[in-house]
Structure 1
Amino acid sequence: MSASGLNTVEKKAAFSLATVFGLRMLGLFMILPVFAIYGPELSGYSPIWLGLAIGAYGLTQALLQIPMGILSDKIGRKPVILGGLVVFAAGSVVAAMSDSIQGVVIGRALQGMGAIASAVLALAADLTREEQRPKVMATIGMFIGLSFTLALVLGPVVTQAYGLSGLFWFTGILTLFAMLMIQFMVPNSVHKAPKGDNVAMISQLSELARNKHLLPLNVGVFVLHMALTACFIFLPLRLVDSGLALSQHWQLYLPTLLGSFFLMVPFMIYGLKKQKEKEMFLASIVLLAVTLVLMAILPSETMLLVLLILAFFVAFNYLEATMPSMLSRIAPAGVKGSAMGIFSSSQFLGAFAGGAVGGWLAEVFNQETVFFAMSALVGLWFVVALGMKRHAKSKSFSFNASFASEEHASEVADKLVNMPGVIEATLVYSEAVAYLKLDDKQADIPQIKALLNP
């Protein structure tokens, strides 16, 4: 099989794991476009509880994602993923059977406790070759984006037909399909990829949390998902106020989301080709901040809301798509799993904070204050992002290595970093592995392999 393409196992792993990830995220996101409208019908309703119900999954997801990834290293990927899906399904049932908003909050928190993201990504790494892994990860990322689009389209349709309870039962059914795919379609892992680049390591988390190059991305994904969640506490109500019935909301979301994808692609291409990634990144943050202010001050008219939602998702999708790629280049060699763990936990914490803070602001002040506050936070992110440095293009590689001693490993590392095309080298003596960040157009990979295995 040519190394330039995915083999049969990799194709099967990419499709099945991406589908499982997508089904789960679809279940989490479908509440966004409808809960602001149906939530007030539940007993115990208040704006704070509304926000908590939307964002509760983020807190438990953030707390358990890294431990679940580490557990998957000890007892296996599939048992952890299946167990997480069982918990997620249980949360869906609890939410579906609840007549109070507090019951829905408990159900959503249970859904978040099925934190399988890191285990799924680690299994994807186990089942793929190093040079093909980016394609598989990109496939998973594409399905996550697709699931968000489908959620905004299907959420109003399913809820209009079957009610809020029916939405959660539908989520539970999707989870059963995901469990069947894990059991019968996902290949069994026969290879363990080097764990440092795929699963978070507790010993690395503290240092990486303080890494000044990663901080703008971790702050950014927190603020981005905080703004998204806070906005969707009230955005559906704005659409209803503009005269657009809930059953018609998908007719707005579908074209604006698809349009935002088409509009952001030229900016991504321009940024990559012209080496203007930082400028385009900062411009997207500004667009997001301005859009949030306009949502607060402009009247709720359908055409205005269409344009604002389009602008919001152009900025959101650009930032959402580029940050993981930037993180993979910036993260030190051999600790990408830990860096991604912090990044993902920041994302989920942002979703929780958006629900909790957005609901509180609306109850104490008003809906407009929510949009102003989110815009201010995005502005602070812009200030932090100004300090981002441009990083050389690179690819991460892991190689088996043979070291006579730790001193020998240190000597080899010194030689490696002085070789052409080697940007960074991390050699782990205890695992007999070398993690390298290379400019593969300059690096002499056969020479590197010879040095690592004399």
Structure 2
Amino acid sequence: MLTKEEKKVVSGITFVVVARFLGLFLLLPVLAPYVKNLPGSTPLLTGLAVGIYGLTQALLQIPFGYLSDKYSRKGVISFGLLVYALGSFLGGIAQNIWMMLFARFLQGAGAISSAAIALAADLIREEVRTVTFAHIGAAIGMSFAFSIVAAPFLAGHFGVPFIFFLTGGLSLLALLYLWIFIKEPQRHEKEIEPFLKLLPQILRDKNQMAVDLSIGILHLFLVSIFTVIPVELIERFNFPKPEHWKIYLPVIIISLAIMVPAIIAAERKGKMKPVFLAGIAFVALGFASHLILQDFWGAVLLLLFFFIGFHLMEPILPSMLTKFAGPERRGIAVGVYNTVQFSGAFIGGFLGGLFLKLGAVYMLLTNLLLSLVWLLGIGIWIKNVEIKKRST
């Protein structure tokens, strides 16, 4: 069980992380149509305005994680929140495509995920750490579901600039909560090694790299699915976009409901390995289901099985990473993790564009083959890995 102080930490870090993800999720369904009508916009610049956020996130996760190790978790998070808020407010007043590009660049430059996860790991006992990440993961999942439903309504009634202002304001509220209710963890007595010396050590760690590659593949799948499947639902199955939330919402709720007992089993009964492998298997099953059925219900099953697998792995992976990385290098380790995650998302978007031209079947077949290779590789690797069980 979490202590009172740990609950406060979890609430605060969840608020910080969700405030950041809302900026992505709320804009995802409505940004491109808005940006393409700005003065100076072209299709290429419209895509860049959407994608540059993830690119700058990937580039800055490692430096921000390292700086949080060397100096201050809260200081780095605070700086990132301020940069993100500035980018959001600039997005709200952007009058042309170039100002919007700069605003989105700044939003991505507020790369706080590494420092936020490291802060949670610093302040939460190891035996309840996976439960902590499950809370955060569930909140992110629910914010995604909320965003899919709320974004078209908010944009239709108040405009896309309102969403930018809303997320910027949430970022400042998260900053206020951080400084009032969450303490700075104790500084490590051990001197932090130079960045360029630490990074190769992490890249040579097979355990950390297995976790990093897993989160990269998972988010490659996530973005490629959401590039192809919504278009397929509209154009092939005549399921209108405003109705898509009727699929997304129950799928996410069901997957989160399955996640809770699975994470309890992983923590208390030492079942983290089988839960991890089951997550990959569910992802593969999703692609196989749609590949076989090739109809509307195949698409629904793909989303259902994928999100079951997604939510089984999302809290487990950062917990495993923080076990493999020592406290003095936890921030930079999480920085590498998040860099691979956002890089996977960027690659998933690029591949998704190719799959839109070639057809959904190519996405299903490619991702199914990759998921099977992933399952085999993790199955071989994890046999010789010791993952600590929660003490009872």
State the TM-score bracket (shorter-chain normalisation).
0.7 to 0.9
1:133 and 1:197 mapped to 2: Cα distance?
A: 25
1:97 and 1:323 mapped to 2: Cα distance?
A: 38
Q: 1:141 to 1:255 in 2, by over 3 A?
A: closer
Q: Is the 8 A contact 1:96 1:168 kept in 2?
A: yes
1:266 and 1:13 mapped to 2: Cα distance?
A: 23
2:202 and 2:127 mapped to 1: Cα distance?
A: 25
Q: Secondary structure at the match of 2:27?
A: coil
- Higher-Rg member (1/2): 1
1:179 and 1:280 mapped to 2: Cα distance?
A: 35
Query: Does 2:146 correspond to 1:150?
Result: yes
Query: Does 2:324 correspond to 1:327?
Result: no
Q: Partner letter of residue 85 of structure 1?
A: L
Render the CA deviation track for 1:334-367: whole Å, top value 9, x for unaligned: 644443332222112212222233235535x445
Q: 1:271 to 1:250 in 2, by over 3 A?
A: same
Render the CA deviation track for 1:302-361: whole Å, top value 9, x for unaligned: x44333321121111112122223334444686444433322221122122222332355
Q: Is the 8 A contact 1:61 1:348 kept in 2?
A: yes
Q: Partner letter of residue 248 of structure 2?
A: Y
Q: Is the 8 A contact 1:65 1:118 kept in 2?
A: yes
Q: 1:269 to 1:89 in 2, by over 3 A?
A: closer
Render the CA deviation track for 1:67-89: whole Å, top value 9, x for unaligned: 22333456544443232122212
Question: What is the aligned partner in structure 2 of residue 19 from structure 1?
Answer: 15
Question: What is the aligned partner in structure 2 of residue 208 from structure 1?
Answer: 202
Q: Secondary structure at the match of 2:171?
A: helix
How far off is 1:382 after superposition?
2.6
Q: 1:138 to 1:298 in 2, by over 3 A?
A: closer
Question: What is the aligned partner in structure 1 of residue 373 from structure 2?
Answer: 380
2:192 and 2:252 mapped to 1: Cα distance?
A: 31
Q: RMSD of the TM alignment (CA)?
A: 3.9
The unaligned stretches of length 5 or more in structure 2 are none
TM-score using structure 2 length? 0.80
Matches within 5 A, 1:19-418: 19-34=15-30, 44=41, 46=43, 52-72=48-68, 76-98=72-94, 104-124=100-120, 139-183=135-179, 185-189=180-184, 191-194=185-188, 202-241=196-235, 242-268=237-263, 277-292=272-287, 294-295=289-290, 299=294, 301=296, 303-331=297-325, 335-362=329-356, 365-390=358-383, 391-394=385-388
Q: Partner letter of residue 204 of structure 2?
A: R
Q: 1:6 aligns with which of 3, 14, 17?
A: 3
Give 1 or 2: higher helix fraction: 2
Q: Secondary structure at the match of 2:371?
A: helix
The unaligned stretches of length 5 or more in structure 1 are 396-438, 442-454
1:293 and 1:44 mapped to 2: Cα distance?
A: 39
Render the CA deviation track for 1:380-424: whole Å, top value 9, x for unaligned: 3234223213433427xxxxxxxxxxxxxxxxxxxxxxxxxxxxx
Q: 1:124 to 1:289 in 2, by over 3 A?
A: closer
Q: Partner letter of residue 117 of structure 1?
A: S
How far off is 1:236 after superposition?
2.8
How far off is 1:287 after superposition?
2.9
Render the CA deviation track for 1:132-176: whole Å, top value 9, x for unaligned: 766655544443344333333333332343444443333223223
Q: 1:16 to 1:321 in 2, by over 3 A?
A: closer
Q: 1:99 to 1:351 in 2, by over 3 A?
A: farther
The total of aligned residue pairs comes to 389
Give 1 or 2: higher strand fraction: 1
Q: Partner letter of residue 25 of structure 1?
A: F
TM-score using structure 1 length? 0.71
Q: Is the 8 A contact 1:289 1:378 kept in 2?
A: yes
How far off is 1:61 after superposition?
1.4
1:186 and 1:276 mapped to 2: Cα distance?
A: 34
Render the CA deviation track for 1:272-304: whole Å, top value 9, x for unaligned: 677664444334323323423554675563x44
Q: Is the 8 A contact 2:121 2:322 kept in 1?
A: no
Q: Which moved more, 1:203-212 or 1:241-250?
A: 241-250
How far off is 1:16 after superposition?
2.0
Q: Partner letter of residue 343 of structure 1?
A: Y
1:97 and 1:20 mapped to 2: Cα distance?
A: 24
2:191 and 2:244 mapped to 1: Cα distance?
A: 41
Q: Is the 8 A contact 1:226 1:351 kept in 2?
A: yes
How far off is 1:93 after superposition?
3.5
1:155 and 1:140 mapped to 2: Cα distance?
A: 21
